[in-house]
Amino acid sequence: MKFALPVILVVVLAVLMIVALTEAGSAHGTVGIAAGSATYGLTPKPSTPEQSLTDLLVEAQRRNWDQALSFVSNVSASSDKDSFIQDWTGSHGSLRSFSNLESFELRPLHVTNDEAQMRVHLRWTTPVGPIDDVRDFHLARKGDIWKTVWPKRQEPSVPAQVIPVTYLRWDLVSGGADDEWGSKNVDTPHVRIVSMNAVDTAEGAVVMGEVVNEDTIPAFVNVNATLLDGSGSAIDDESSFDKIAHILLPKQVTAYRIDFPAFHLKNVKNVHMDVKATLVPASADPVIGVMNQKIDPDVQGKSVLRGELFNQSGQTVNIPHIVASFYDNNGQVVWVADGYVEQALLPQTSALFSVEFPKTLAAKVQNFHVVVNQYSPGRS
């Protein structure tokens, strides 16, 4: 009896070791290990486009820039190295600056003796969750070695200028702890849910709609929903989390989406909505225009809404966040999608964005609306 615990511990340890050893071979999704290449450093020179691009991506993942540059044909250590690095690591406090390349998968699109086109699916870990990116790379053979032809990125050139800031700003004064009862009365902002639509999807139930700030001051808004069964008991409650533009200026409208994974509407008799608004300091600057919005399929055939964000102000927007609502021909919200732009928006410059929505809804969507949220550290 007294040996039972030690025996159990030894058995568990042995099982865990066996699991670890058997899983070591399939390095799919493991940080720093490219698929099929667990023993990098001992491999021969990149004689295939797949090998060359894999080597480049592994070195970029490890941030060994000099090694990575050796797999690129048109960028040398002396020229454009900073631009190459910035392309990977981001700049100006963008979302990319806080991200790491977790894993990648590549497949050839078109390969000849001397040239190849490869499509790479990059998976980034970021503070806002995983972000998938698809990029096409062009490779060329020089002698018996394949190298990537790096697409030169045009850095937006922002001329020096003075841009006056004349937009309104709201500050919040909390009042002292000793204020007499009734004297420090500032009501929370008045916000209202203007629409709600509950649908079933393959991943679970989704509640979405729009909310408006009806007040004359900014509001920090969150929308919660509770699914109720026939007896009025709560089945589950969830929040909009980041599928909403949290800071709403006066009369601003945002879409929201609340996901209930693994729950379906067949058991739901009612949905209780609750919108919470709190006072928050805010500024009407920066103004970001959403230009040239269009729906079309991306390179993988997915339905996306794409466009361009234009920063009309004089300050950098570090992390732009897009919340897009899609409407049918009755004006009802049929889907809400959100996405982040990984590069910072410099003053008076633009950046492309795209948000995906379910292909099954593509035929239903007649209209859409995009709201831009933005996060800039140290600024309200």
Partner 1 sequence: MRPWLICAAVCLAEACGAQNVEVRVSFPVVAGNGATVSTSGSGKAIFYLVGPGVSSKNEIKLGEEIQLRTRDTQNAGAYQAIVCSERCASATFYVSAANPASLTFLVHPSRVPVSQNDAVSGVAFPFDQFHNFILTPLSIEFRLTAGSAALMTQAVRTRAGVAWFRTTSGKSAGALRVVAALDNLSAQRVVQQVAADPCNLRIAGQRNRSGILVQTEPVRDCAGNPVPDGTIVTFTAADANGKSTVDAPIKQGVARVEIAASGGASISVASGVVMGNEIHIGAQP
Q: How many residues bind partner 1 (CB under 8 A)?
A: 40
Q: Which residue of 140, 273, 284, 361 would you call a contact of partner 1, by CB under 8 A?
A: 284
> Cβ neighbours of residue 114 under 8 Å, at least 6 residues apart?
140, 141
Q: Which of residues 15-34 bind partner 1 (CB under 8 A)?
A: none
Q: What are phi and psi of 124, to 5 degrees?
A: -105, 140
Does the protein bind partner 1 through residue 170 (CB under 8 A)? yes
Mind giving me the DSSP string for 301-363? S-EEEEEEEEE-SSS-BSEEEEEEEEE-TTS-EEEEEEEE-SS-B-TT-EEEEEEE--GGGTT
Minimal distance in Å, beta carbon 164 to partner 1? 11
Does the protein bind partner 1 through residue 379 (CB under 8 A)? no
Instruction: Give CA angle at 284 (283, 289), nearest 5°.
Output: 135
Strand bridging mode 145-149 / 169-170: unpaired
Does the protein bind partner 1 through residue 366 (CB under 8 A)? no
Q: How far apart are CA 192 and CA 195, in angstroms?
A: 9
Q: Which residue of 152, 251, 359, 379 would you call a contact of partner 1, by CB under 8 A?
A: 251
Q: Which residue of 240, 368, 373, 374 would you call a contact of partner 1, by CB under 8 A?
A: 368
Specify the stretch interacting with partner 1 by CB under 8 A; choose among 73-81, 154-162, 283-291, 336-344: 283-291
Q: Which residue of 293, 348, 354, 376 would you call a contact of partner 1, by CB under 8 A?
A: 293
Residue with tokens 């490219």: 34
Q: What is the x/- site pattern for partner 1, positions 204-243, by CB under 8 A?
A: --------xxxxxx--------------------------
Q: Report which residue type is found at 209.
A: G
Specify the stretch interacting with partner 1 by CB under 8 A; choose among 69-77, 142-150, 174-182, 230-238: 174-182
Could you tell me if 380 and 347 are in contact, meaning their C-beta atoms sit under 8 angstroms apart? no
| Site residues for partner 1 per CB under 8 A | 166-168, 170, 180-183, 185-187, 194, 212-217, 249-253, 284, 287-294, 307, 310, 312, 368-372
